[in-house]
Every structure is written in structure tokens, then in C-alpha cells.
A and B are shown apart, each in its own frame.
Chain A
């Protein structure tokens, strides 16, 4: 009776293991598109920033944190942002006097901010021998996010950079219009009208 119960239990465990093997395989290949958006943007400048995020983590309080020490953690990485303009869905209009008006936004950051890491560019202070005060994944994420936000503000406040991007975008769009004019045998003049997003 005892041997029968043991063999039943073993068979039950084996069947559970066999079922769960299949489930793991399907979760490994998960690739799901969660959103799709039509855009109409022209990126003309790719800016690379040297970012340094410095984290200071104090030692914790309470019985579980006895023996900890303060930690410092510096991460140096390249922040990347693209600058350009967005065009409206019907970007071009031509009047009877061959004046072409192109509707676009002011120069701004196009798309998401990117980053490029080098794991050798991480400097950290030694941890305590008695009790670890680890720089957690959440701490690392916060540091990088903070540095990215700072980079974004720098770009938005850099009028020279934005003006250069706008000038370049205008030159490219004007070239496109004048090319069409040449094909049509016309001498178009180009104006730009700024629109909101």
C-alpha cells in the first residue's frame, strides 16, 4: 500500500514537470506589438551627449541594515536624441501666384531618447563586508532616467541647436519643392507655416 502511494506521488510530480516544460517554451518566444501610430516627421540632426549619473545610497535604518555603509555609484553613457520637425497630414498648398506653403512644427525632439552603455564605464564604491547595501536595479533605472530627463531639458533649452535643426529641415523641404517646380517648369517660392503638434 505504501509503495503504491509513493509511485502515485512520483508519477504526479513527473506529469506536472512535463506540463510546465511546454509552457516555458511559449513564454520564451513572446513578441507582441502593442501599438501602431502613423507619423509624419523629418529628423535632421542626431545629437550625442556624454551623460554621467551619480548615485549616492545612504545606509539603511533598522535591525536588518546593521553593518551597511553608504555607497556611491557612477554610470557614464552616451545619450542619443534626434531633432527635426513634424509635418501636417496635408503639408503642401500652392496659391495662384505659385507660392508654396509648407506646414510644419517648430524643431523638437523626434521619437524616443536612446542610450548606449559600456559596462566598463561603471564606477562603484566597495560594499560593506558585514551587510550588503546593494545598488538595486530600481536605483540604476532611476539614475539613468534622471540623466535622460536632464539631457532632454538641455536640448529643449538649446536655442542654437533647435534653430540649426529647423534651418536644415527647411532647406531639405525647400529643395523637395523646388525640384517639383523644376519638373513642372515653374519657379515656386516657398514659405513655411508653423503649426502645433
Chain B
């Protein structure tokens, strides 16, 4: 038992004894001094001497390669649409994406626009009561856009196609979450009704009509 205890003590004090031996000898003290001085010189060279000294690059500093971007843009097609928007909302969210190597997470910011198709507005008139019934079509999600600059990744190797791979999935994620937000649709509908009231108010006043929105 005594021997085992002594061996354990020896192991515990190994590094302490080693340090004592190094500091105890002249060669050891000189070696430590040289290491400390070399680290100090290295630090000074890295941080105080400029990137290029007398035209010669400083190899102890580190600088990423310069990035230049040249872009071209060509109109492909212009489609006719009818989208009257009454609400714009911005969101922060996190999408869980299943890739080839497993799942990963993407944090993003996005914007959604909601409104209706003005071509689908319908009117019914009651001449006797001088009432105009405006039938408002259903409020739709018209635009779902994710800010690609906001994409932030976790649990994934950020390869050179990561943005292209993840962007569309984030859009789908935002689209599905927004469609479940009934409160947003209600606000968009209320705004639509307010706009129609405001745009028809001159008719109400001039022609003495009453406008009802359904």
C-alpha cells in the first residue's frame, strides 16, 4: 500500500518537479528566456510592422485575398400582373434544412407583402336603397422575399454553393409560417377595406350612396 501511494504522489508532482529542474539549471533558464523573447519579437513583427516594408511583403502577417465582383444583368421577360398590396411585414426566423449530410439550421430575415387582385373586386348595386355592396376578394400572400445577406448557418460545412442551396428552402419556410399567421391576414384585410372606403368616399358624398364592404 505504501509503495502504491508513493508512486501516485510521484505522478502528481511530475510536472512540478520538472519545472523545478528546468528553473534550477542555467541552461533551462536561458531556454525559457529565449522562448519568451522570440514570442515577443514575433508579436511585434506581426502587429507593429506594416504589411509591406520597403516593398517586401511581411510574411508574418496574414491577409485574405482581395475579392472583386463584376456582374451583368439582362432583362429576360416582363409579365403583366395585378397585385394591390395593403400590408408589408418583416420577420426573423430559423429554418431547419435536411441536406445530403444531415440537417442544419439557417437564420434569416424576410419580408412578406399581402393584398388582393383588384380585377377580382366585385360590385352589387341596390338602386332603391342607394347602396353599393363591394365584394372584396380573399387576401393573398403576394410576395415572400428572404434577404440573402441575412443568411446565417449552423451545423453545416459552409461550402461554395450553400447560399444557392439554402435560399429557396428559407423562402418556403417563411411562406408556410406566414400562411399560418391569421392575424396578419386580418390586418391586411382591414387595410384593404379602409382603402376602398377612402377611395369610394367621394362617390358616397357626391352621389349620396352608401358603400358596404363584404
Residues on A lying within 8 angstroms of B by beta carbon are 27-66, 68, 70-71, 73, 75, 77-79, 82, 84, 87, 89-94, 100, 110-119, 121-122, 124, 133-137, 139-147, 150-151, 154, 158, 161, 164, 168, 172, 176, 179-180, 183-184, 186
Contacts and interface: CB of A to CB of B under 8 A. Distances in A.
Interface in B153-178: 153, 158, 160-165, 167-168, 177
B26 interface: no
Interface string B25-66: 000000000000000000000000001000001111111111
B98 interface: no
A116 B68 CA distance: 23
6 contacts: A34-B91, A36-B88, A37-B87, A82-B81, A151-B73, A164-B78
Contacts of B164: 75, 77, 117-119, 121-122
Given A37-B87, A53-B69, 18 more contacts: A28-B94, A28-B96, A30-B94, A32-B93, A39-B113, A44-B82, A46-B81, A51-B73, A57-B66, A78-B76, A90-B201, A92-B202, A111-B111, A112-B145, A119-B164, A124-B160, A176-B121, A183-B123
Given A33-B90, A43-B81, A111-B88, A119 B71 contact: no
Main secondary structure of the interface of A (DSSP, over half): strand
Contacts of A183: 123, 125, 132
Contacts of B143: 82, 111-112, 114
A29 B96 CA distance: 9
Contact of B161 (A63, A90, A122): A122
Contact of B198 (A34, A60, A91, A140): A91
B59 A150 contact: no
A36 B188 CA distance: 10
Contact of B71 (A41, A54, A136, A186): A54
Given A57-B65, A61-B62, A111 B145 contact: yes
A44 B58 CA distance: 57
Given A33-B89, A55-B68, A61-B57, A136 B158 contact: yes
B69 A61 contact: no
Contact of B92 (A30, A39, A77): A30
Interface in B85-116: 85-94, 96, 105, 107, 109, 111, 113
Interface residues of B, number: 83
Contacts of A65: 62-65
Contact of A94 (B62, B78, B202): B202
A111 B92 contact: no
B182 interface: no
Nearest to B90: A35
A164 B107 CA distance: 38
Interface of B: 51, 57-94, 96, 105, 107, 109, 111, 113, 118-119, 121, 123, 125, 132, 142-143, 145, 147-149, 151, 153, 158, 160-165, 167-168, 177, 181, 184, 187, 191, 195, 198-203, 206-207, 209
A163 B3 CA distance: 97
A116 B168 contact: yes
Contact of A42 (B84, B94, B168): B84
A38 B87 contact: yes
B62 A91 contact: no
A145 B89 contact: no
Nearest to A71: B65
B84 A137 contact: no
A180 B107 CA distance: 47
Contacts of B60: 62-63
A42 B80 CA distance: 12
Contacts of A100: 202
A184 B122 CA distance: 15
